[in-house]
């Protein structure tokens, strides 16, 4: 299987992308949309193949460049547009597209991220093989078989996926919109909180082991005491027993909370001392 990155001015990311890609495929090719010796050196050092694409940056033209390289034929190829919207963590999932049993599998960017054309389909319309021409399409990921690669290379840049030969199995999807700054910050904060909570559970953190039971006991004791106070009339031995139980539960809750806080503070101080003398 072959992995292809289509990149422009992505020197800082190419090395890691190629190195990571080699772990999954037999061959990594970088098609650069501009001559850049620094990129070439970085790609070849990481074990990839570097080629400069001199035509328009449309899918059929890029497919022709790939065929003209006269590389050994491979059954499956995955091409990825390496830009600010694509994340390296998505690489395994995108490589898995090669097993989709389609000759050509195209993942368009979300219509809100398409800056190639102003003729964007309405948000109520589903994206189909006739929605975009290759000139207007913002393709993020494309997977194809050797037959699909030849069919794509033979297509016209102004054509559409709907014009491909009928014997080819073609599938089109639209990726989800890239989160905005505030949405991304919110997701990051939620993820960090989840990781912190998981770590506290795994490490048996005192604020979890003692704090949560302490809150539960204190709440139950408070509710019992409040209910006892609201009961009017003379207090018999039963009410005295309930009062003692409420006091005991509340005391256990407070003790547990204080113990959790004390152990947490002591742990912080021990870490600080160890850091100073290490």
Token pair, residue 272, equals 């600080």
Residue with more model confidence, 229 or 173: 173
Q: Which of 97-101, 133-137, 274-278 has the lowest mean pLDDT?
A: 274-278
User: Is residue 241's pLDDT more than 70?
Assistant: yes
User: What mean pLDDT is predicted for residues 130-139?
Assistant: 78
- 36-52 pLDDT per residue, tens: 788 888 888 888 888 88
- The percent of residues in the chain predicted with pLDDT above 90, rounded, is 1
> Which residues, 6 or more positions from 219, have their beta carbon under 8 angstroms from its beta carbon?
253
Calculate helix-pair angle for 37-45, 11-22, nearest 10 degrees. 20
Give the pLDDT band of residue 278 (cuts 50, 70, 90): very low
User: Is residue 152's pLDDT more than 70?
Assistant: yes
What is the three-class DSSP state of 241? helix
User: What mean pLDDT is predicted for residues 130-137?
Assistant: 78
Q: Which of 213-217, 220-224, 265-269 has the lowest mean pLDDT?
A: 265-269
User: Is residue 277's pLDDT more than 70?
Assistant: no
Q: For residue 179, how many C-alpha atoms fall within 13 Å in the half-sphere facing its CB? A: 9
User: Is residue 35's pLDDT more than 70?
Assistant: yes
User: What mean pLDDT is predicted for residues 241-259?
Assistant: 82
Instruction: Report in angstroms the alpha-carbon separations of 184 from 82, 181, 196.
Output: 20, 5, 18
Sheet containing strand 139-145, strands side by side: 49-52, 27-32, 2-7, 76-82, 139-145, 104-108, 170-174
User: What mean pLDDT is predicted for residues 56-67?
Assistant: 87
Per-chain mean pLDDT for the chain: 78
- 82-96 pLDDT per residue, tens: 887 788 888 888 888
Q: How many CB atoms lie within 10 A of CB 90?
A: 13
> Which residues, 6 or more positions from 3, have their beta carbon under 8 angstroms from its beta carbon?
21, 24, 25, 27, 28, 29, 77, 78, 80, 95
User: What mean pLDDT is predicted for residues 60-64?
Assistant: 89
């Amino acid at each position: 299987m072959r992995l292809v990155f289509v990149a422009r001015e992505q020197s800082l990311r190419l090395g890691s992308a190629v190195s990571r890609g080699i772990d999954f495929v037999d061959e990594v090719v970088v098609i650069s949309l501009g001559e850049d010796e620094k990129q070439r050196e970085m790609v070849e050092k990481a074990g990839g193949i570097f080629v400069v694409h001199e035509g328009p940056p449309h899918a059929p033209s890029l497919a022709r460049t790939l065929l003209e390289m006269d590389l050994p034929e491979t059954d499956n190829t995955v091409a990825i547009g390496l830009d600010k919207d694509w994340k390296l963590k998505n690489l395994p999932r995108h490589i898995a597209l090669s097993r989709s049993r389609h000759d050509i599998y195209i993942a368009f960017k979300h219509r809100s991220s398409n800056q190639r054309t102003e003729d964007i389909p309405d948000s109520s319309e589903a994206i189909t093989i006739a929605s975009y021409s290759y000139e207007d399409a913002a393709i993020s990921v494309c997977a194809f078989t050797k037959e699909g690669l030849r069919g794509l290379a033979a297509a016209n840049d102004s054509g559409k996926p709907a014009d491909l030969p009928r014997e080819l199995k073609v599938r089109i999807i639209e990726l989800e919109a890239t989160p905005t700054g505030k949405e991304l910050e919110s997701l990051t904060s939620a993820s960090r909180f989840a990781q912190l909570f998981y770590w506290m559970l795994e490490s048996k953190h005192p604020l979890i082991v003692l704090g949560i039971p302490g809150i539960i006991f204190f709440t139950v004791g408070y509710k019992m005491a409040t209910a006892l106070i609201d009961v009017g009339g003379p207090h018999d031995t039963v009410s005295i027993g309930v009062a003692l139980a409420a006091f005991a539960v509340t005391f256990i809750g407070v003790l547990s909370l204080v113990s959790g806080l004390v152990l947490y503070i002591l742990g912080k101080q021990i870490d600080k001392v160890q850091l100073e003398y290490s």
